[in-house]
Amino acid sequence: MANIIEIDGLSRHYQMGPTTVKAIDEMSFSIAEGEFVSIIGPSGSGKSTLMNIIGCLDLPTQGKYSLAGTNVSDMNRNELAHVRNRYIGFVFQSFNLLGRETALENVELPLIYAGVSPKKRREQARRMLERVQLTDRGDHIPNQLSGGQRQRVAIARALATEPRIILADEPTGALDSKTGIDIMKLFHRLNEEGVTLVMVTHDTDLAKQAKRVIQIMDGRILQDIAAKEFTS
């Protein structure tokens, strides 16, 4: 299958006074459409930075990042916003739902910025809630939902614009283990439906549930292997 993500000689350096911190140091890998990849590493390994770059929230200082065949390495803020809207669905550890809006409205949010009409938005949002099996909770605000339900709403929101990849940052980190398992089941199902998933975590057990594991350390790739063969 075609590569959705191509990363080539990518570096992200921060200047901290006189010292240069190499959060990512000449990293290269690619992810094909339909893959389920976890990126694992301890805190400070550069995985957050990598996730920000993959998510088009940040830009590399060196190297090239192509998303769905488009080089995003030198886009401006506006172009990046459009790319995030069309190509990427974010799932955060702490859900990041807007507390005053209902589940449906939260799911509609990316569609507003995509310029979709209110009526179509509503239909699409309902479909997405259906996809995460939360049809009857559309009118609830996040406070009225359990953690697992909130994360489902967040996943529905990530799916709303039918992006090319879903980028999940510790998606089960704020959930109990049973609910975490449910969310992972949902991810597997979505993956089977053809959604490309990239999950960032520090949890080895969770990482192994993906199909492929990229382990990073000090801004470099330590190993990039099939999940079955992964040992830390």
Partner 1 sequence: MKVVAFRESLVMSLRSIASNKIRSFLTALGVMIGVAAVIALVALGNGAQISVEENLESLGSNLLIVYSGEPRGGSLVRRNTTNIKPTLTEEDLEMIRSLGPNYVQAATSESTATAQVKYSNVNTVATVVGTGVDYPQIRNFHPVYGRFFSQVELDTRKPVAVIGIQVYRDLFPEGLDPVGLQMRINGINHRIVGIMEEKGSATSDESVFIPSSTYQRYISGENEYSVINVQAESTEAMRDLQRIIENEILRLHRLPNMDTADFYIANQLDLLDSMQGVTETFTILLASIAAISLLVGGIGIMNIMLVSVTERTREIGVRMALGATAADILRQFITEAVIISLLGGLVGIGIGIGSSWAASNLGGMAARVSLDSVFMAFGFAFVIGLFFGGYPAYRASRLDPIEALRYE
Cα 133 versus chain centre, distance: 20
Burial 191-223 (b: 16+ CB within 10 A, else e): beeebbbbbbbeeeebbbbbbbbbbbeebebee
- Contacting partner 1 within 170-229 (CB under 8 A): none
Residue by residue, DSSP assigns 51-67 as: HHHHTTSS--SEEEEEE
Maximum CA extent, the chain: 56
The neighbour count for residue 33, using CB atoms within 10 Å, is 15
Quick check: 188 and 38 in contact, CB under 8 A? no
* Residue 150 contacts partner 1 per CB under 8 A: no
Residue placing its CB nearer to partner 1 in the complex, 57 or 217: 57
- Contacting partner 1 within 50-89 (CB under 8 A): 52, 55, 57-58, 77-78, 81-82, 84-86
Q: Residues 101-140 vs partner 1: string with x where CB under 8 A?
A: x-------xx-xxxx-x-----------------------
From the CB of 81, what's the least distance to partner 1, in Å? 4
* Residue 157 contacts partner 1 per CB under 8 A: yes
From the CB of 77, what's the least distance to partner 1, in Å? 6
The residue among 51, 78, 52, 83 whose CA lies nearest residue 67 is 83
Member of 90, 196, 209, 230 binding partner 1 (CB under 8 A): 90
The residue ranges that bind partner 1 (CB under 8 A) are 52, 55, 57-58, 77-78, 81-82, 84-86, 90, 92, 96, 98, 100-101, 109-110, 112-115, 117, 157, 161
